[in-house]
Structure 1
Amino acid sequence: MHRMPTLSLPMYDINHQATLGLTSALTTLLQQRGVPAEVSWPQDLLPHWRDDQLLLSQTCGYPLVELLPDVQLVGTFLSSAQGCDGQRYRSWLVVRSADENLTLSDFRGRRAVCNSNDSHSGFNSLRYVIAPLAQDGKFFSATRFSGSHRQSLAALRAGEADIAAIDCITWALLRRNFPQELAGLEIIGETPLCAALPLITSAKTGAATLEKLRSALSELTSEKRYQDLLAESLISGFNVSDRAFYDEVREWKDRAAALGVTAL
């Protein structure tokens, strides 16, 4: 049976009602352009991103350059979250309040937590900033993988780890919607800016459909009637970008490796 193309916005689904509103608006805008889509809520993201029937999803720059060579880039949302600048974002270096007067170098030999080893914001960016401080390829005494930025923050609060790199958009959305999850935590530093999360479509998506996708996203982010909805998700615009824009994600990996750091 022929499956309908799928659409999903899985990466910043913190205020679920806002995400529902965005996916609903997008499916309507696409239907108006003759492009049917079914909203999905994937639990396993890599197969979802690799699906030939993928019409639109959001991934991270690190999987894009390391694991998804065949997908097409649709563009990038711009964000009004503190820490973002144009099509770039950064991570905050987050610790417990008791450590708020320390700097990154003070965490040598302590415990890190990150969401996953295919995350730019939680893993690649943290590896990049500790690489100049590492000795024999090591800086932290241990690194645990939590499964999500929210679970990394919970591990910090529980004293199960000492430092994490947290996507600045996730931090801003939590501060707005679930401030209790940030209680007792402080930002002690930041990573440099890097290419923000890409919107992708399957390699099988035709050129005409790709143009309609970009048209729908442009209308979503420019029409006044959607502004309140966008504000809930801290989305301030949409730009078409190409894969070369994401080369800097791999450059961060390569620069860390040149300093002997390939893991955390």
Structure 2
Amino acid sequence: MRLISYLTPGYPAALFEALAELIGVDLGFVVDRSGPDPALDPFAAGTADLGWLCSTSFIELTTDRTPSVQQVGVAWVPDDPDAHGQPVYFSDLLVRPGTHAASLDDLAGLRIGCNDPASLSGYHALRIELDRRNHDPDSFAELVMTGGHHHSIDQLLAGEIDAAVIDSIVRTRRARQWPEVAELQIVERLGPWPTQPVVMRADASADEVARIRKQLLEANNHPEIMSLMAESALVGLAATPDDHCAGIRMAMERLSSRLDH
């Protein structure tokens, strides 16, 4: 079996390597997109069996088409008091210290760094919130695709962009390592949103899915993996219900419907 992670380098490669070894699968990385292009779907093509990807990509792979994936029922829990021990996270809207911005609404017309078009925390969450506040997501600000959360943070620190929308787990990890990142101002936290799901080919049997779920949850009993989790600003893996991504599906459908009209 082959696992593809779409979440590195935002999350450390070593963490996925340890998890892949635990469940006994081969591992590959896609580093320029938070989930597969639906037109180039490795799960439908049979070149990937498991994936760790953004929930927005899961929605894209299961909407208005024959679903190519199903949820395994596992996601991680961040080391974040605002998550309250649940598998949820946020889009942290960051600016440099001294920037006169008290909310997202104050960033109109500025350059906001985004991850990539498949990312929830680094793109879609921002557009969803702009629409909710009756702003036009396509004209409110200049959305600059940086190619990744770390790139967005680096460009913000360098003054190349005015703000950035960042996965809160990635931000927490970077802030613990770099004082200048810790000094960045969180204007708002958008969310909470479900943390990234593990998916498996749609044609995998219930027994196969249950086996992978059990193996992944056993990671919580492995000190070496839990150490990697802690370094990644995570506290462990949790079982998730079938509706883990339901809120994202509703938000995406609502945004699509409004923009189509």
Common fold: TM-score over 0.5: yes
CA deviations on 1:185-205 (whole Å, 9 max, x unpaired) are 311111121111001122243
Structure 1 SS opposite 2:236: strand
* Residue 48 (structure 1) shift: 4.8
CA deviations on 1:9-33 (whole Å, 9 max, x unpaired) are 44154574xx425523542x334xx
**Match in the other structure for 2:58:** 64
* Residue 137 (structure 1) shift: 5.8
RMSD of the alignment, in Å? 2.8
| Inter-CA distance 122–22: structure 2 relative to 1 (3 Å threshold) | closer
* Residue 133 (structure 1) shift: 3.7
**Match in the other structure for 2:213:** 214
**Match in the other structure for 1:11:** 7
Counterpart code for 1:202: R
Pick which of 165-174 and 53-62 moved more: 53-62
Bigger Cα Rg: 1
* Residue 241 (structure 1) shift: 2.6
Q: Aligned pair 1:146/2:146, yes or no?
A: yes
**d(CA) in 2 for partners of 1:180, 1:157:** 11
User: Which of 23, 30, 50 is the aligned partner of 1:30?
Assistant: 23
**Match in the other structure for 1:159:** 159
Judge conservation of contact 2:14–2:228 (CA < 8 Å) in 1: no
**d(CA) in 2 for partners of 1:232, 1:172:** 10
Judge conservation of contact 1:22–1:230 (CA < 8 Å) in 2: no
Judge conservation of contact 1:51–1:202 (CA < 8 Å) in 2: no
* Residue 41 (structure 1) shift: 2.6
Counterpart code for 2:192: L
Structure 2 SS opposite 1:159: coil
Judge conservation of contact 1:116–1:123 (CA < 8 Å) in 2: yes
| Inter-CA distance 54–87: structure 2 relative to 1 (3 Å threshold) | same
**Match in the other structure for 1:34:** none
| Inter-CA distance 156–13: structure 2 relative to 1 (3 Å threshold) | closer
**d(CA) in 2 for partners of 1:136, 1:232:** 38
Counterpart code for 2:2: T
**Match in the other structure for 1:249:** 248
| Inter-CA distance 111–154: structure 2 relative to 1 (3 Å threshold) | same
The residue correspondences of 1:214-233 to structure 2 (distance < 5 A) are 214-224=213-223, 226-233=225-232
**Match in the other structure for 2:192:** 193
Structure 1 SS opposite 2:187: strand
**d(CA) in 2 for partners of 1:43, 1:256:** 27
**d(CA) in 1 for partners of 2:114, 2:87:** 23
Question: Structure 1 regions of 5+ residues with no counterpart?
Answer: 32-36
Judge conservation of contact 2:130–2:137 (CA < 8 Å) in 1: no
Counterpart code for 2:198: L
CA deviations on 1:89-114 (whole Å, 9 max, x unpaired) are 11111112131553222112222221
**d(CA) in 1 for partners of 2:69, 2:226:** 29
| Inter-CA distance 226–136: structure 2 relative to 1 (3 Å threshold) | closer
**Match in the other structure for 1:73:** 71
**Match in the other structure for 1:203:** 202
CA deviations on 1:56-106 (whole Å, 9 max, x unpaired) are 331001111023532121121222245434021111111121315532221
**d(CA) in 2 for partners of 1:108, 1:25:** 41
**d(CA) in 2 for partners of 1:161, 1:110:** 8
**Match in the other structure for 1:40:** 28
* Residue 257 (structure 1) shift: 5.0
Question: Structure 2 regions of 5+ residues with no counterpart?
Answer: none
CA deviations on 1:168-190 (whole Å, 9 max, x unpaired) are 0110121234x166276311111
**d(CA) in 2 for partners of 1:168, 1:236:** 14
CA deviations on 1:235-264 (whole Å, 9 max, x unpaired) are 323233344221211222344456x557xx
- Once the two structures are aligned, what percentage of the paired residues are identical? 24
| Inter-CA distance 244–88: structure 2 relative to 1 (3 Å threshold) | same
